Structure 1
């Protein structure tokens, strides 16, 4: 599936539920006050699960952000159990107003997907990286480079969605999942990659370069 609908499929049940309640309140109960109460979460759900198109940079050397949000931390020379050597880590925090559909930072094949159950601490805390529920997607590029993206649940987020499987070939900027209601994405890049972002920068999934080869 391309997952290119205007609204992410995971949002349809929320929109349908609150939308139906809005209509019932207005038509059957004839209470516009109650209808307005249900209309607010209907509109919020549609906004939260929006799935806009993005213009991926034409330069194939560019590594794009996997998430909308703000860069809250950059670490150099870090290690991860799924990676063969030291790397650069970029941490991106998504608040509830950001688009929450996640995108692949660089073209390649999905070599590993590892899910870890965990806690639901606020995603802007550093310890959330190790203690929260998370899903790791490791991409192996055509020339053998490793790029790891980790979806991390947050304080309100209670479900991580991953649409891809091990062995899938993916292109840069392609949608691969989402996290519901506020969360964090971490990207581990090879040390040879040159970073294009700094702490505090705002980024958009599939569109903002965060690094380059």
Structure 2
């Protein structure tokens, strides 16, 4: 079941409130430092913004806001990865309807999410049977927050988690989806839950 749609992802105030409070207290005594901390707190809260989205009626949608950084074959399947820049929304969404079969945390490195080495980074894999979403940490991102558990039913575009301060989200598409079904290319900007990355011949 989807979260109620708050304007901020869970944990936003936990990360943003401390620098805000300290900044307000320091500003009268040390203006530049205090104002810097206030700006950091506001930026942290805005980083966790969670706007509403309107999913299309068909197709596999992007799991994250950002730019397509990976399109490659993995066996008989196609992986599409989206790199989230610091200014992007970092709430992740289900590419299609499905049932969560497992949610698996895999420890690993913290390489830059746009590099090839990021495939060995810490991640959370959300297996929905026909497709799989991977939430991948980057060099700075160390906190992956999945919202779903095994057995949950998902709708297209439903919130499934967020990554605090990072960094990449992939969808491993079903075997039936081929390169000719893709609707994005590397470098293209996408919006989580709205941009169709591939059409689905089964629909």
TM-score (norm 2): 0.91
Match of 1:137 among 98, 114, 126: 126
Residue pairs, 1:38-117, within 5 angstroms: 38-57=37-56, 59=57, 61-76=58-73, 78-79=74-75, 86-117=76-107
> How big is the shift at 1:191?
3.3
Match of 1:201 among 179, 185, 188: 188
Q: Is the 8 A contact 1:95 1:181 kept in 2?
A: no
Q: Is the 8 A contact 2:183 2:199 kept in 1?
A: yes
Unaligned runs of 5+ in 2: none
Report the counterpart of residue 4 of structure 1 in structure 2: 5
- Distance in 1, matches of 2:55 and 2:63, equals 11
> How big is the shift at 1:92?
1.1
Aligned length: 196
> How big is the shift at 1:30?
4.8
Report the counterpart of residue 25 of structure 1 in structure 2: 26
TM-score (norm 1): 0.87
Report the counterpart of residue 37 of structure 1 in structure 2: 36
RMSD: 1.5
Q: Is the 8 A contact 2:24 2:35 kept in 1?
A: no
Unaligned runs of 5+ in 1: 80-85, 141-145
Per-residue CA shift, 1:116-175, capped at 9, x if unaligned?
Answer: 10110111112211x1101100113xxxxx111101110111111101100011111111
**Could you say what secondary structure the match of 1:190 adopts?**
coil
Higher strand share: 1
